[in-house]
Amino acid sequence: MGAMRSFQGFSAPCSHADQNRTQKKKKKKNPPVLDLITFFVQFHMRKVVFTACYVVSYRFNFRGFRWLQAMIFAIEEINNSSTLLPNITLGYRIFDTCNTVSKALEATLSFVAQNKIDSLNLDEFCNCTDHIPSTIAVVGAAGSAVSTAVANLLGLFYIPQISYASSSRLLSNKNQYKSFMRTIPSDEYQATAMADVIDYFQWNWVIAVASDDDYGRPGIEKFEKEMEERDICIHLNELISQYMEDHEIQALADRIENSSAKVIVVFASGPDMEPLIKEMVRRNITDRIWIASEAWASSSLIAKPEYLDVVAGTVGFALKGGHIPEFKDFLQQVQPKKNAHNEFVREFWEETFNCYLKDSRRRHQSDNGSTSFRPWCTGEEDITSVETPYLDYTHLRISYNVYVAVYSIAQALQNILTCKPGHGLFANNSCADIKKMEAWQVKRCTFSTNRDAKPV
């Protein structure tokens, strides 16, 4: 998911724009800023392959922006709480992974290096007034391939990582991914459920398709084992990618069209799936039954009116949704003037209203290097007047997973804060000093995803 640029880092309090939402809660007086939570999200979905992430042709990821807002919302709730981490303010930094391993590792190395500098206690020798606190936890990434690469690096330094959407069963290997956790179930269960559905309807001749990455390959491998145990045959087994050439997509469509199997099981993401669906629509192949993994079952890239004849009747899997009180109001209150420091908000606004804000960096970066016509934005447009996936809060699944991930980190820090000497997890049952703790100490504490720990 495309376009990388030099994104700014933020430290809490990042925004106090929503004063009405928090004014009834007890405010913390001059709280110290405590270490950083790093958030990985992909904001752009590429149409073509680019060598640089700041591209001239891309699609903004509105769902990804909502996930980011869920993270900010959770942190602001915690920072305004008088019971959870009182007198402590959490900060955060945001990185766009562009859904690429290289960009995610580039960001990871930047804060891992910062953590190592901090461990040398250089503040004793210099006055580091612009010092950025260490990263004590990472939330993300979304894609399993990206999370796998990041987890390999973070595990070396015992920096806890909590993904909100990476479901690859390979990530369950605690010997290899020592610091990785997640708030989404493993694909182990989904693959079994897919096989159960096929067995229930007595379909005995199917096609298996998977993304050619660490999400699709392990998922479809588990599915194949489940099918073998049930004596159900797989006629074709194919790998797909959003970067496949047109002739490769056409050849795959040929094999599907010529197959007598009418049931197609797909373990893939929306971007990887879209080229195949487009080709199926072009050929008007409408007599197939699709079994969809959660990554594309509710994808806005696939749920389009022009694809309906092909994908209507799809049997899809979805994550259990959750409720985030007051989140709806928070989403609706986003506005460039209230979030002037946040370049993501500005880009979201321009893509939502198809306009340019004053001093927009994107005004001069359009297709073929020419300036495309868009009217000027005032920054005061009514966000509720447009249809956008960003405001689809009826079934909060990944957004809820992000919310829970942030609270699990906060609860681990609360455990450190309330630790009593003689009952700690460190040498001689000692406690960590929350003002001087390191990421590995946070990892040692119990992470809780129990929402009962959330202050009401």
Q: What's the pLDDT at 98?
A: 83
Phi-psi region of 356 (alpha: psi -120 to 50; beta: other; left: phi over 0): beta
Q: Which residue has the higher pLDDT, 244 or 53?
A: 244
Residue 451 scores a pLDDT above 60: no
Burial class (CB in 10 A: 0-12, 13-18, 19+), 59: middle
Q: Which helix (H) or strand (E) holds 138?
A: strand 135-139
Q: How confident is the model at residue 23 (pLDDT cuts 50, 70, 90)?
A: very low
Mean pLDDT of 328-349: 91
List helix spans (H) across 14-61.
19-22
Query: Which residue from 299, 327, 294, 329 is spatially nearest to 400, judged by alpha carbons?
Result: 327
| Cα distance between the two ends of the chain | 36
**Which domains does the chain possess?**
19-185+323-453 (3.40.50.2300), 187-316 (3.40.50.2300)
Q: What's the pLDDT at 361?
A: 79
pLDDT in tens, 247-305: 999 999 999 999 999 999 999 999 999 999 999 999 999 999 999 999 999 898 999 99
Helix, strand, coil percentages for the chain (3-state, nearest 5): 40, 15, 45
Q: What's the pLDDT at 124?
A: 53
Answer for the pair 297, 318: CB distance below 8 angstroms, yes or no.
Answer: yes
The mean predicted confidence, pLDDT, of the chain is 84
Answer for the pair 266, 290: CB distance below 8 angstroms, yes or no.
Answer: yes
Residue 306, C-beta contacts closer than 8 angstroms, at least 6 positions apart: 281
Q: What's the pLDDT at 55?
A: 43
Neighbour order of strands in the sheet with 315-316: 233-240, 205-211, 263-267, 289-292, 315-316
Residue 21 scores a pLDDT above 70: no
d(CA 130, CA 128): 6
Q: How confident is the model at residue 385 (pLDDT cuts 50, 70, 90)?
A: very high
- Identify the weakest region by mean pLDDT among 56-65, 174-183, 390-399: 56-65
Query: Which residue from 28, 35, 7 is spatially nearest to 131, judged by alpha carbons?
Result: 35
pLDDT in tens, 25-66: 344 445 555 556 788 876 554 333 322 344 434 578 899 999
Question: Can you give the pTM of this predicted structure?
Answer: 0.84
Q: Which residue has the higher pLDDT, 203 or 454?
A: 203
d(CA 201, CA 48): 39
pLDDT in tens, 82-110: 999 998 989 999 998 888 899 999 999 98
Residue type, 299: S
98-102, 103-107, 306-310, 431-435, range with greatest mean pLDDT: 306-310
pLDDT in tens, 120-167: 555 554 444 445 568 899 999 999 999 999 999 999 999 999 999 999
Q: Which residue has the higher pLDDT, 363 or 244?
A: 244
Answer for the pair 79, 33: CB distance below 8 angstroms, yes or no.
Answer: no
Q: How far is C-alpha 92 from the geometric centre of its chain's CA atoms? A: 15
Q: Which residue has the higher pLDDT, 399 or 359?
A: 399
- For the packed helices 398-417 and 62-79, what is the interaxial angle rounded to 10 degrees? 30
Neighbours of 340 (CB within 10 A): 13
Mean pLDDT of 422-448: 86
Residue 178 scores a pLDDT above 80: yes
Phi-psi region of 409 (alpha: psi -120 to 50; beta: other; left: phi over 0): alpha
Q: How confident is the model at residue 345 (pLDDT cuts 50, 70, 90)?
A: very high
d(CA 97, CA 106): 9
Phi, psi at residue 123, to the nearest 5°? Answer: -60, -20
Q: What's the pLDDT at 33?
A: 53
Q: How confident is the model at residue 117 (pLDDT cuts 50, 70, 90)?
A: low
